[in-house]
Amino acid sequence: MNCFIPAAGFGKRMGDLTRNLPKPLLEINGIALLDLAIFNAYHMGARKFCINTHYLAPLIHKHLEKFESKLDIKISFEEEKILGTAGGIRTGIDGYFGKGESFLCLNPDVMLFLPEPFQVVPQNYSGSPFLYLYNNKKNENYTGLDLQNGKVRFGKGEFFFIGLSILNTDLFDSISKNEYSDLSELFRKLSEEDTLEGGLFSGHLEDLGELDKFLNYQSDEMVGDYFEKVRKWLRSVT
List, for residues 157-199, the tens digit of each pLDDT value. Answer: 999 999 999 999 999 999 999 999 999 999 999 999 999 999 9
Using 50, 70 and 90 to split pLDDT, how confident is the model at 219?
low
In contact, 205 and 162? CB cutoff 8 Å:
yes
How much is the mean pLDDT over the chain? 96
> Can you give the pLDDT at residue 225?
87
**Number of domains the chain is built from:** 1
Dihedral sign, Cα of residue 177, residue 43, residue 109, residue 137: positive
Q: How far apart are the first and last CA of the chain?
A: 21
Identify whether the C-beta of residue 99 lies closer than 8 Å to the C-beta of residue 23: no
CATH number of the domain where residue 110 is located: 3.90.550.10
* Predicted local distance difference test score (pLDDT) of residue 140: 81
Closest by CA to 11, choosing from 89, 91, 90, 109, is 109
pLDDT for residue 222? 54
Domain hosting residue 8, numbered range: 2-237
Question: What are the φ/ψ torsions at residue 112 (nearest 5 degrees)?
Answer: -100, 140
How much is the pLDDT for 137?
A: 81
How far apart (Å, rounded) are the C-alpha atoms in residues 64 and 51? 10
Q: What is the pTM of this model?
A: 0.96
Helix (H, G, I), strand (E, B) or coil at 204: strand
91-139 residue pLDDT tens = 999 999 999 999 999 999 999 999 989 999 999 899 999 999 999 987 7
Is the model's pLDDT at 221 over the cut of 60?
Answer: no
Residue 223 has a pLDDT of 72
Determine how β-strand 102-106 pairs with β-strand 145-148.
unpaired
C-alpha to C-alpha distance for 185 and 197, rounded to whole angstroms? 15
pLDDT at 68 over 60: yes
Q: Please give the average per-residue pLDDT across 3-30, as a whole number.
A: 97
Encoded amino acid at 133, one letter: L
Element (H, E) at 2: strand 2-7
- What band does 220 get if pLDDT is binned at 50, 70 and 90? low
Rounded distance, CA 118 to CA 73, Å? 23
